[in-house]
Amino acid sequence: MTERKMRMSRFLKLRTGKKLEVWPTYYPYNRTLAIALFENGESYGNLTCCLDDTPGRNCAYIDVNHMGKDIVEVLEKEGYGKRTGKEYQSGYVLYPEFMFKEVVLKDCTNEEYEQYLRWQEALGEGEEYLTASCQICHQEFCFIVKKEEAQKYREYRDGAPYLIQNVFPNMSCEERGLFARGQNMCSACFKELFSFWEE
Confidence of residue 108 (pLDDT cuts 50, 70, 90): confident
Q: Within a domain: residue 166?
A: yes
39 and 91 assigned to the same domain: yes
Domain edge (last residue) among 122, 146, 161: 122
Give yes or no: residues 16 and 69 share one domain: yes
What is the residue range of 67's domain? 11-122
% of residues, the chain, pLDDT over 70: 92
Separation of alpha carbons 81 and 195, rounded Å: 54
Give the pLDDT of residue 2. 43
The pLDDT assigned to 17 comes to: 82
Q: For position 190, what pLDDT does the model report?
A: 85
Q: Which amino acid belongs to residue 61?
A: Y
SS3 153: helix
Q: What is the pLDDT of residue 198?
A: 52
- Residues 117, 33: Cα–Cα separation, whole Å: 9
Of 55, 25, 24, nearest in space to 150 by CA: 55
Q: Determine the pLDDT at residue 182.
A: 87
Question: What mean pLDDT do residues 82-99 have?
Answer: 96
β-strands 48-49, 11-13: how paired?
A: unpaired
98 and 56 within one domain: yes
For residue 152, the tally of other CB atoms under 10 A from its CB is: 17
Tell me the pLDDT tens digit for each residue of 3-62.
Answer: 545 454 678 888 778 889 999 999 988 999 999 999 988 999 999 999 989 999 999 999
Is the domain of 160 the same as that of 73? no
How much is the mean pLDDT over the chain?
Answer: 89
Residues 83 and 133 in one domain: no
pLDDT score recorded for residue 194:
75
Whether 109 and 194 share a structural domain: no
132 touches 140 (CB < 8 A)? yes
When pLDDT is averaged across residues 139-166 and rounded to a whole number, the result is 95
The total of structural domains in the chain comes to 2
Q: What is the pLDDT of residue 9?
A: 66
pLDDT(181) > 60: yes
